[in-house]
Amino acid sequence: MHKVVAFDLDSTLIDENNQIIGGKDTIDRLHQLHKLGFKLLVNTGRLDHDIQNICLQYHLPIDGRISQNGAVIYHNNKLQATLLDSSQALQFYDQVKDLSIRVEMNTISNRFWHSDRDPDFPKEFYDSSHIKADFKEIILNQPVVLFLLIGNKDEIESARQLVEQKFDQLDAVKTSETSLEILARGVSKGAALTQLFESMTLYAIGDSENDYSMFDIAEKAYLIGKDKHPKAKNIHEILDALDEILKIERQRP
């Protein structure tokens, strides 16, 4: 039975300036858990190169990397991905590309945009973005992992309903009140963890709806912020969760 701590990146491990929340104390707790035999996994919507970059920058003892909200997994020096069906990706893109909502698209290693992002949007550690006026040629020639839609609440909800009503091989997952990711059906952070470990005691830490699939399978779940999940304990920051996990572990007989 593996003991696993899985945690999100943005607003969980790192802040809006890409700094570790809790600083040296958080890094110290992660090293303590690793020494106690826990497997540590970053489980994020970012691309894999951003996980790799932050782990190297802060010397984090990470045992696996789950990126793009469960669609891409790096473990034991192997990378695997669950891709969008190309025909449904094309159909979906045709229906949203001319809307006022912002449409972005990810492959395994790159992000594709129609125009530059707002400078206040969270920045990548490694810039893998490319500006393309049209994504059709890319969809036909490269494996696509997901679409990211950015808009107001009404636009996001309309896009979500579009996916649910018309695309049987796609799922729509809110990553915030103003963003929606379109992935292959069945992809989630929780599904990626169960794919990696047949049996595990999981402690999951996150801050938004796309983390709920981790919470559903966790022994203990920690939700940062004021949202609610039936299995999750609300906390202020990741350090609170790490301290509690260490306390639980040290009290085991």
Angle 228-165-183 from CA coordinates, rounded to 5°: 60
Q: Say what the pLDDT of residue 26 is.
A: 98
pLDDT tens, position by position, 153-180: 999 999 999 999 999 999 998 888 899 9
**0.85 exceeded by the pTM?**
yes
pLDDT per residue as tens digits for the range 28-75: 999 999 999 999 999 999 999 999 999 999 999 999 999 999 999 999
**Is 124's pLDDT higher than 90?**
no
Token pair 């992992």 in the structure block, residue: 145
Q: Is it the case that residue 16 has pLDDT exceeding 90? A: no
* pLDDT at residue 17 in the model: 86
Can you list the domains of the chain with their CATH numbers? 2-81+188-251 (3.40.50.1000), 86-184 (3.30.1240.10)
CB 208 within 8 A of CB 227: yes
For position 102, what pLDDT does the model report? 96
Which of these ranges, 52-61, 81-90, 120-129, 222-231, has the smallest mean pLDDT?
Answer: 120-129
Show contacts of 213-216: CB within 8 Å, 24+ apart: 213/70, 213/188, 213/189, 214/6, 214/43, 214/189, 214/190, 215/190, 216/190
The answer to whether residue 110 scores a pLDDT higher than 80 is yes
pLDDT tens, residue by residue, 205-245: 999 888 999 999 999 999 999 889 999 999 999 999 999 99
| Burial per residue of 10-22, b for 16 or more beta-carbon CB atoms within 10 angstroms, e otherwise | bbbbbeeebebbb
d(CA 13, CA 221): 15
Q: Which residues pair with 149 in a beta bridge?
A: 103, 180
Higher pLDDT, 126 or 120: 126
Q: What are the C-alpha distances in Å from 230 to residues 132, 161, 186?
A: 42, 24, 21
